[in-house]
Amino acid sequence: MSEQEQSLSELLALRRDKLTQLREIGVNPYPSKFDVDATSSKIIADETIIAEDPSQGKRVSVAGRVMTRRVMGKAAFFNLQDETGTIQIYIRRDDVGTENYNTVFKKLVDLGDIVGIKGFVFKTQTGEITIHAEHFELLSKGVRPIPIAKEVEEDGKKIVYDAFSDKELRYRMRYVDLIVNPEVRDVFRKRSKMVQEMRMFMIDSGYLEVETPILQPIYGGASARPFVTHHNTLDMKLYLRVANELYLKRLIVGGYNGVFEFSKDFRNEGMSRFHNPEFTQVELYVAYKDYNWMMDFVEMMLEHVALSLHGTTKVPVGDNFIDFKRPWPRIPMLEAIKNETGVDLNGLSLEEMMDAARSVGVHVDKTMGKGKIIDEIFGEHVEHKLIQPTFITDYPIEMSPLAKKHHSKEGLVERFEAICNGKEIANAFSELNDPIDQRQRFEEQVKLREKGDDEAMALDEDFLRALEYGMPPTAGLGIGIDRLAMIMTNQDSIRDVLFFPHMRPE
C-alpha cells in the first residue's frame, strides 16, 4: 500500500465496503450497459419536452455522475453531470423502490458515482428543469472520493467554492480535472474544433493530409536539440522528429501539389509556460506558390477559425481582444525595427550593426552575425508589442537555411512570421528549391555545429538528392497548434491546452 493510499485508507476502505454491500444485496456495481437517449443540455434546451401533465409526458433516459446531493428523507434532489452539462434529478422512495432508494441511493451511492436515470421532465417550484426519476440504477461505483466543488449564483455571477484548483494535481490527474471543472472540458473541445476547422480548410483547398516518420535517422527542418532513441534490431540511433519539413518537401518533389500534416514534434529543450517537450505543429506545403500567397492563405484560414470558434473575428485574450479579420498588416522586419526603435539597420556593416544594437540596449558578442543581431533586436524591442495579428516579412538569411533568397533584397529571404499576442504563431517561406544553394546552406550549418552550436541542422544527403530531381517553386508554412490554441481559448499556459502536459514523476 502506497503512502497516499495509507492516508486515504479510511475513505477507501469505506468505499470498498460499500462495493461488498452492493453485491450482497444483488446489485452489480459495474453493469455492462445502459440505454441513453437524451443529454442534459438537450433536455434543458427543449421547450416542448415538459407536458401539460408532466407525469404523462415523454420519458427520457440519461446517465452521468452524481455531483451534488440534497436528501430530504424520503425524497431527494441530486445533480447529474453528463458530457453536455448538468441536470437536476428528483428521486422519491415511492417511485424507485424502498431498497433501491434507502439502501442503494442513500447509503451506498457516493458523489462521483455514475448512475442511469429514466423518468419524465418537469419544472420545480423554483423553476428548474428537473427529471423526475422513475428508474434509478448504479452504473459504476467509484472507490475514490472526488473533489466536489459547490457553486452558487449570486447576481448572475457564478461563485465556486472549494474548486479543485491545485495545478499540480489537475495536471497529474487530468481525468479528475475534467470531471469537476467543466470549463476545462470546454477548452479542449475548442482546441479539437480548431484543429478540425484547419484540417477541413486545407482539405477543402485541395491539399492532401499525409503522415511522415516520427523516428528519423537524420533530424532536420528546425534548429533544435532532439531526443535520441535506439532501434534494437537495426542497432542504430534514431531521433524523434523536431519538424517534418524535409519529408513533406520530398512529397512535393514526388508530385503532390499540396500536402499537410498535423505533426507531434519533439524538442529536447527547456520547459515553460510556452514550451512542452512534445508539441503539435501543422505544416503545409503548396507547389507553385510563394510566401506572399501563403500570407493570404494564413489570414483566410485563421480568420475562418476565429469565426468558427467564436462567431466573430474578435477573440478575447487576457485584457485584449485580438481581431483576426483580414487583411493583417505586413511589415518588413527591418522596417518594424525602425518603427519601434528608430534605428535603421538597412545597409549597415557588421560593426555598425553591433553599435546600433548596443545603442538600444541589446547585448551582442563576437560570435553573432548580422542575422542574429537583427533577430535579437527584433525579439527584444518589437515582438512582444505586436498584439494584433501581424506579418513580419523578409528575414535575415543566416536564420533561415531552408528559405529561398529574396528576389530583390540582398541578405534576406522570402520568409514571414505571423505574430499575435506578442508571440509567433506561424512561420513560412518560399521554400529553397535550388539544390546547390541548399547544399551550401547545409554546409554553413555544419560549420556552426562544429563551432559548438548544437541546435544547427545536420546535412541531409537524401533531402538534397530529392531537390536535385527538381522541386517546383513551393510555399511552406508551420503553425504552432498549442500556441494558437492558447490564444483561441484564452489560456496563458501551454499546460492548459495539453491534456497531459509533461511532469516530473510523482
Partner RNA sequence: GAAAGGGUAGCUCAGUCGGUAGAGCAGCGGCCUUUUAAGCCGUCGGUCGUGGGUUCGAGCCCCACCCCUUUCACCA
What is the Cα 321 distance to its own chain's centre?
Answer: 20
Q: b vs e for 148-159, b when ≥16 Cβ sit within 10 Å of the residue's Cβ?
A: beeeeeeeeeee
* Identity of the residue, 307 or 360, whose beta carbon is nearer to RNA in the bound complex: 360
* Identity of the residue, 162 or 186, whose beta carbon is nearer to RNA in the bound complex: 162
* Identity of the residue, 167 or 189, whose beta carbon is nearer to RNA in the bound complex: 167
* Identity of the residue, 130 or 393, whose beta carbon is nearer to RNA in the bound complex: 130
Residue 381 C-beta: closest distance to RNA, Å: 12
Residue 470 C-beta: closest distance to RNA, Å: 28
* Identity of the residue, 95 or 435, whose beta carbon is nearer to RNA in the bound complex: 95
Residue 19 C-beta: closest distance to RNA, Å: 12
Q: Which one-letter amino acid corresponds to residue 165?
A: S
C-alpha 214/C-alpha 219 separation (Å) is 9
Residue 232 C-beta: closest distance to RNA, Å: 27
Of 496, 489, 126, residue with least CA distance to 317: 489
* Identity of the residue, 71 or 436, whose beta carbon is nearer to RNA in the bound complex: 71
C-alpha 83/C-alpha 270 separation (Å) is 35
Going by the DSSP 8-state scheme, the letter that residue 52 receives in this structure is S
Of 424, 427, 478, 426, residue with least CA distance to 281: 478
Task: Please identify which residue in the block is written with the cell numbers 452524481.
Answer: 66
Q: Which one-letter amino acid corresponds to residue 313?
A: T
Residue 501 C-beta: closest distance to RNA, Å: 7
> Phi then psi for 177, rounded to 5 degrees?
-55, -45
Residue 236 C-beta: closest distance to RNA, Å: 25
Across the chain, how many H-helices and E-strands are there? 16, 20
* Identity of the residue, 287 or 353, whose beta carbon is nearer to RNA in the bound complex: 353
H helix runs in 82-130, sequence order: 93-96, 98-99
* Identity of the residue, 299 or 417, whose beta carbon is nearer to RNA in the bound complex: 417
Of 296, 243, 260, 262, residue with least CA distance to 402: 243
SS3 322: strand
* Identity of the residue, 287 or 494, whose beta carbon is nearer to RNA in the bound complex: 494
Residue 316 C-beta: closest distance to RNA, Å: 18
Residue 311 C-beta: closest distance to RNA, Å: 27
Residue 289 C-beta: closest distance to RNA, Å: 21
Given the DSSP bridges, would you call strands 85-92 and 75-82 parallel, antiparallel or unpaired?
Answer: antiparallel
**CA of 393: how far to CAs of 77, 426, 430, in Å?**
61, 12, 11
Task: Please report the beta strands in 143-219, taking only residues with DSSP state E, as ranges in sequence order.
Answer: 150-154, 157-161, 208-209, 215-216
Of 129, 92, 93, 133, residue with least CA distance to 116: 133
